[in-house]
């Protein structure tokens, strides 16, 4: 098989949960029944729209405040939380070696254990939504 057809990431072992973000809360619903399996209120994360990114057994979520959360996909438990450089609608991508969060004119990079690797403001570019992209993994910003 040629290299470009070889999968570059692991298949998720469990796909039984539908994850929903609404009004500052993240819920895990059983895909077969619709029953709520878990709920996480993202304490201190703000209200309103929630951006979700999921890979490698984790759910990365951020609402309006300057905070990002990493939740366990199966239980909804918070693995870690960290401040972000900006506030407002987030854009998140999860890569094998890092998690990138764009928000309010800032981009923050975190290790999968929650350690902030770097933060970059985008001077002179405004404080609106941030689209993020790594090869094969792109997330577009949304209008407020």
> What CATH number is associated with residue 105?
2.40.128.630
The dihedral formed by the CA atoms of 115, 118, 119 and 120, expressed in degrees to the nearest 10? -160
Shortest CA distance to 44 belongs to which of 59, 26, 64, 28? Answer: 64
17: CB partners within 8 A, 6+ apart: 28, 29, 30, 31, 37, 73, 74
In a domain, 2, yes or no: no
Average pLDDT over all residues of the chain:
89
**Rounded Cα distance, 144 and 134, in Å:** 23
- Count of domains in the chain? 1
**Does the pLDDT at position 8 exceed 60?**
no
> Residue 38's domain spans which residues?
16-131
Residue 141 lies in a domain: no
Q: Does 5 fall in a domain?
A: no
Q: What is the pLDDT of residues 22-53, one digit of tens each?
A: 999 999 999 999 999 999 999 999 988 999 99
Q: Is residue 58, in this structure, part of any structural domain at all?
A: yes
Predicted TM-score (pTM) of this structure: 0.87
State residue 127's pLDDT score: 75
């Amino acid at each position: 098989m040629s290299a470009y057809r070889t999968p570059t990431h692991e298949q998720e072992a469990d796909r039984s949960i539908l994850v929903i973000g609404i009004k500052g809360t993240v819920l895990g619903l059983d895909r077969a029944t619709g029953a709520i399996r878990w709920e996480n209120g993202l304490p201190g994360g703000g209200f309103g729209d929630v951006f979700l990114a999921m890979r490698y057994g984790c759910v990365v979520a951020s609402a309006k405040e300057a905070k990002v959360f990493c939740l366990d996909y199966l239980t909804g438990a918070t693995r870690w939380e960290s401040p972000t450089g900006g506030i407002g609608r987030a854009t998140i991508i999860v890569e094998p070696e890092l998690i990138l969060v764009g928000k309010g004119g800032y981009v923050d990079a975190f290790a999968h254990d929650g350690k902030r690797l770097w933060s970059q403001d985008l001077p002179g570019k405004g404080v609106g939504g941030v689209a993020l992209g790594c090869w094969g993994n792109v997330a577009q910003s949304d209008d407020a």
